[in-house]
Chain A
Amino acid sequence: MSESAENAEPRSDAEPLSGLQPGQRGKVTAIEVPGAMRGRVMEMGFTIGTVIEVVRFAPMGDPMEFKVRGAHISLRKAEAAGIRVQRI
């Protein structure tokens, strides 16, 4: 499903961070995490322009692990979906 959406749009368009596979990297273009957690996500290093690498999915498929500014941070897919990235 995500494959076809990807093909329909040009690659440079922002997509949710949760759509990336382990090993893929993306540059943050927007943070649309709701409520009080938005600032915290940014303070953990997910700021606009930062390059984020997907490291792995947890054994049960969720949450995800990311490499951000040299640290490993885990977010659930639902929350990672609020972070828009441009794949590089």
Chain B
Amino acid sequence: MADPAQIFRRIAIAGNPNTGKSTIFNLLTGLRQKVGNYPGVTVEKKTGRFFGSHGEVMELLDLPGSYSLQVRSPDEAVSRDVLLGRVPGTPRPDAIIAVLDASNLDRHLYLVAQFLELDIPVIVALNMVDVAEKRGLTIDLLALKNSLGVPVIPMVASRGQGLIELKQALSRATLHVSDQKAQLPIVLEREVAALSRMLKGHAGSVRSEAMLLLSLEDERLATEVKGDAILLTEIHAARERLKLSGLDPIAAPVDARYAWVSEVCASTVHRQGEDSHGLTFSDHIDQILTHKLWGWLAFVGMMALMFVCIFVVAQAPMDWIRSAMQAVAKWTGAHLPAGDLRSLIVDGVIVGVGNVVVFLPQILILFFFLGLLEDSGYMARAAFIMDRLMSRVGLHGKSFVPLLSSFACAIPGIMATRTIENRNDRFVTILVAPLMSCSARLPVYAIMIALLMPASNVWSKAGVMLCMYLIGVIAAFVMAGLFKKTILRSETPMLLLELPPYRAPVFRGIVQRMWERAVLFIRRAGTVILALSVILWALLSFPKPPEPNATQSEILSHSIGGRMGHAIEPVIAPLGYDWKIGIGLVASFAAREVFVSTMGQIYNIEDAKQDNEDLRTQMRDERRADGTPVFTPLTCLSIMVFYVLAMQCLSTVAIVRRETNSWRWPLFQIAYMTVLAWIGAFVVYQGGHLLGFR
């Protein structure tokens, strides 16, 4: 594609959450998107390219959705720093597309007021004009354009309306900086001007920076001025002077901006009829979905539907993938000469990767549901309903979303904790997030449940699986409460949550995100899991025993993996596991789903003639030395509980290291979860024995 020198214009797209910002981003850039990271912080940097009206190359930068440019977490600092042109490797944008919800200008213009302070050309994408119209709002576009001093493009992004006009506005030869701004009280304006002079050398708009610094709470101010003692003293002195003249330094700029917003709205938005007391569509839905009784039923019902779909709907495509993989393995096996190479490709690569790729349909369904909940606006209601429970262990309703996402995969879940402002609360959420049963555990649960109750119907199987999820949830709550009272002590954080209007989700956007996840998953299967499968195959095949006619079982027992399994057997015997399961556990510390492929490899390698026989049958027929089955119901349960509670995922360890910026937390997490898993499995196995189960 075009080289960077040819980029005609760099544009940032920003707006409040739930304004359709991502929809517009996707409309403009299509699949020409790139996801990276900003240096030093963990905020995702999403860019894309598109062509202007005359074929010019435009680069579009997606800024995280936010309500304000004021900085109260490292995450929020990124948007401001990008707009001030202070992020290395990210040039200051030439213009901002401000995406607004036309049905609620009273609120959304606040962020525009801050953008106008930045002295960057702004283009307003007035989204969802159809919703505003339905609510009886008439927006005088010309008046709005004049009072903002910027181009205003009416849009219905979900239907692609207004896209051409937006592109035209972005392609104009010159874009102007608006001369409209919120008027500050004179005393404040004077202090802002004085402070601006002190910031002269800084990049971007110093006036905007001065305003942000003046109205920043003390907690954050120290980090923002980066030890500049003179500046800090000056800010404090200015605040004292403001207080003396009767101005609240934090409230004054906010009040000034909102006063400006009200003025703009008064002259541009006209209401037909008495809308203010009438109930909107969203209000009617909320009367049911946040109802004392129906609200809970709907919540539990939705979660149940999601898990039944993951279990039932995904079955057919999973069977197709499974048989395709088996066919590939068989064909390859038939066309390669017997020996180490064939063993590597068939037993290592195809079986190893195949057993993981099989879970793609389930992951896709899960992300589909999460996307649906997020885009429809229900996710915020879930946080609203759950906050009381979450706050009981000292967490935030906002922790609910990361934890719910962790049911799909702890990695997006842990990344989603960035919306939690308080460090301690964020770390507690990160520490317990991997206790939520992620989709990588599904293969383990699925095979164990199949062994546990082969004849039962799908509903009782789903019931056992739900129990496993519940064990994880309860453990997460108990541990979160414990951490909040001990190592990460802090006040229960404040809840400040917008409940956005319900909207019909844009399926294209959801499918696009599912696609991104699928690519990520396949890439992981193709790299990490492929590498692990090969390493595992080597561990289970070498060194070879000295005698050339050794049986497969002797080869396995002699291998490094076999020896490791033997070595940990004394520790895991009280949990009901033999050394072969031990090999599976060792391998699973890289990634949980590897357990299934390891078991596949162990039994395939051990019994080469049974290549085509189902892994489940092989595991069911597995016997201990005394002739009793290895996989008794209690052992199966014990294994499942171990997998619920143990931290077995290298990728999660890596992401926790990155998010907490230290090795301390991931190491602590591995330690506490492993101990918890051992205790849990021990209680199940030994307790079950005492009660007379086998």
Contact = CB atoms under 8 A, between A and B. Distances in A.
Nearest to A49: B255
Interface residues of A, number: 34
B217 A36 contact: yes
Nearest to A73: B498
B422 to A, nearest CB: 9
A37 interface: yes
A59 to B, nearest CB: 5
A59 B254 contact: no
A39 B70 contact: yes
A61 B291 CA distance: 11
Contacts of A31: 251
Interface string A23-48: 00000000101011111111111011
Contact of B72 (A36, A50, A58, A69): A36
B132 to A, nearest CB: 11
A42 B216 CA distance: 12
B110 interface: yes
A31 B397 CA distance: 22
B68 A43 contact: yes
A73 to B, nearest CB: 6
A62 interface: yes
B64 to A, nearest CB: 16
A2 B385 CA distance: 25
A79 B494 contact: yes
A65 to B, nearest CB: 6
B292 A59 contact: yes
Contacts of B282: 72
A63 B498 contact: no
B197 interface: no
Contacts of B391: 62, 76
B106 to A, nearest CB: 4
Given A38-B217, A43-B110, A59-B290, A48 B499 contact: no
Nearest to A79: B494
Instruction: Determine the interface band of chain B, counting residues with CB < 8 A from chain A.
Output: 35 or more
Contacts of B68: 40, 43
A8 interface: no
A20 interface: no
A37 B385 CA distance: 22
Contacts of B497: 63, 73-75
A36 B421 CA distance: 10
Contacts of B387: 58, 62-63, 74, 76
A64 to B, nearest CB: 10
Interface string B382-397: 0011011101000001
Contact of A69 (B106, B251, B292): B106
A1 interface: no
Contacts of B500: 71-72
A39 B254 contact: yes
In this complex, the member of B107, B254, B258, B283 whose beta carbon has the largest number of chain A beta carbons within 10 angstroms is: B254
A56 B255 CA distance: 27
A62 B388 contact: yes
B296 A47 contact: no
B114 to A, nearest CB: 9
A44 B67 contact: yes
A5 interface: no
A59 B385 contact: yes
B164 interface: no
Nearest to A80: B495
B217 A39 contact: yes
A40 B495 CA distance: 11
B496 A41 contact: yes
Contact of B388 (A48, A60, A79): A60
Contacts of A38: 217, 250
B250 A39 contact: yes
25 contacts: A35-B219, A36-B217, A39-B250, A39-B254, A42-B255, A43-B68, A43-B70, A44-B496, A47-B251, A47-B254, A58-B387, A59-B290, A59-B292, A60-B385, A60-B389, A62-B387, A62-B391, A63-B397, A65-B499, A69-B106, A69-B107, A74-B387, A75-B497, A79-B494, A79-B496
Can you list the 8 inter-chain pairs with the closest CB atoms, starting with the nearest? Answer: A60-B388, A72-B499, A36-B217, A74-B497, A69-B106, A42-B254, A36-B219, A43-B68
Interface of B: 67-68, 70, 72, 103-104, 106-107, 110, 215-217, 219-220, 250-251, 254-255, 258, 282-283, 286, 290-293, 295-296, 380, 384-385, 387-389, 391, 397, 421, 494-501
